[in-house]
Amino acid sequence: MSTVPALEAVSAASGFRRTEIDRRPVGPRDVEIEIDWAGICHSDIHIARDEWGATSYPVTPGHEIVGRVLAVGEEVTGFSPGETVGVGCYVDSCGTCEYCADGRENFCAEGVVATYNTPLPDGSVTRGGYSRGVVVDERFVLRVPQALDPARAAPLLCAGITTYAPLRRWGAGPGRRVAVVGMGGLGHVAVKIAAAMGAEVTVLSQSLAKRQDGLAFGARDYFATKDPETFERNRGRFDLVLNTVSADLPVEQYLSLLRVDGVLCSVGLPPEPYSVRPMALAARQRVLTGSMVGGLPQTQEMLDFCAEHGVESEIEVIGADDVDEAYDRVVASDVRYRFVVDVARTLARAGA
């Protein structure tokens, strides 16, 4: 057992404090990682502030982790000390069910173990990347290609795979028209990835405030959804509409943008149920679906794809003492486009 500096929240309203947390000894199949960078995902905020009603305090969030291998267990063959690696949303699964065997650990039949806030059999709870180190089974460690900037790669461990998986699943590529709803932390990565896949990309955002960014990221068109003409002008245009926002949407309006056999896929998770008449789907054989990150093989595929095509997150680097302010700014949509904590330089020791 070892201890590492970390941040923790002790209640929904407490904000973060510096502390030290325990990490397990390195087992035969484990990789010990010294964390350098930790991205901030909106789900971190939901958990830290108990907005989903399922938080076990004290909690140390963070599932967009990039760092360097410190040590490996005796049975580890895929990693060596000094390599740059990442850890995403999950750190364990049963490894034997049909989904794990198929490389889709995120759907583990026994229940996947999240990187933080998941109770373990010994009574402890997983702690995440707002810390200086972590020990992870090698199955859940990802190789970060040298072509990627480590800080800008961190958000890809969630935002990247969350958008890459449905874009691959629904055939984004040459000759396909893809609309991305929202140009935030998820949306800006989705635009870059879809464009790199060769699709014709359109951004649908509330306003035109980020239009120049969207076009620079690879979008061909950019429309404001508050303009009623947007829906009329784009009716029946898209093969895939990828919704990255968690706001309640007039779903049938967005379904009207789809071609025959078109797909509306949501990776944003609004709190209220969708209201859709069956005829809105049946009339043009449209699909309404969702997607939840991806398995480990596909996450590695995503990182390699991003390295090959120069896709990285747009980030603002912050210190460990700036996380509470960053959370407020994320809620206020005041970030372009992801916050990343410089763990290596700013979380050196508790009380520093």
List Cβ neighbours of 42 (8 Å cut-off, separation of 6 or more). 185, 246, 330
Identify the CATH homologous superfamily for domain 2-158+294-346: Medium-chain alcohol dehydrogenases, catalytic domain (3.90.180.10)
Q: What one-character DSSP code corresponds to residue 151?
A: H
Q: Which two tokens stand for residue 113?
A: 């173990």
List Cβ neighbours of 296 (8 Å cut-off, separation of 6 or more). 103, 105, 139, 140, 142
**pLDDT digits 0-9 by tens, 244-298:** 998 889 999 999 999 999 999 999 888 788 899 999 999 999 999 999 999 999 9
**What integer pLDDT is reported at residue 247 of this predicted model?**
85
List Cβ neighbours of 1 (8 Å cut-off, separation of 6 or more). 22, 23, 24, 25
Q: List Cα–Cα distances, 191 to 163, 196, 275, 351, in angstroms.
A: 9, 8, 27, 40
Q: What's the CATH class of domain 159-290? A: alpha beta
Q: How many C-beta atoms lie closer than 10 Å to residue 14's C-beta? A: 15
Coil/strand/helix, residue 47: helix
pLDDT along the chain (352 residues), means of 10: 94 96 96 98 95 95 98 96 98 97 96 96 95 97 98 98 98 98 96 98 96 98 96 97 92 96 93 90 95 96 98 98 97 95 85 44
Dihedral over Cα of 282, 283, 284, 289: its sign:
negative
Coil/strand/helix, residue 11: coil
Q: Domain locations in the chain?
A: 2-158+294-346, 159-290
CA–CA separation, 175 vs 178, rounded Å?
A: 10
Query: Looking at this protein, which amino acid is placed at residue 108?
Result: C
| Bridge partners for 6 per DSSP | 19, 131
**What integer pLDDT is reported at residue 246 of this predicted model?**
86
**H or E segment to which residue 42 belongs:** helix 42-48
Q: Say what the alpha-carbon torsion angle 59, 62, 67, 69 is, to the nearest 10 degrees.
A: 50
CA–CA separation, 132 vs 125, rounded Å?
A: 17
**What integer pLDDT is reported at residue 241 of this predicted model?**
98
Q: What one-character DSSP code corresponds to residue 123?
A: S
Q: Residues 60, 114: contact at Cβ < 8 Å?
A: no
Q: What one-character DSSP code corresponds to residue 162?
A: H
**What integer pLDDT is reported at residue 307 of this predicted model?**
98
**What integer pLDDT is reported at residue 170 of this predicted model?**
98
Residue (of 219, 235, 154) closest to 182 by Cα position: 219
**What integer pLDDT is reported at residue 271 of this predicted model?**
78
**What integer pLDDT is reported at residue 349 of this predicted model?**
56
Dihedral over Cα of 182, 319, 126, 64: its sign:
positive
Angle at 199 between CA 198 and CA 204, to 5 degrees: 140
**What integer pLDDT is reported at residue 269 of this predicted model?**
83
Helices (H) and strands (E) in the chain, counts: 12, 17
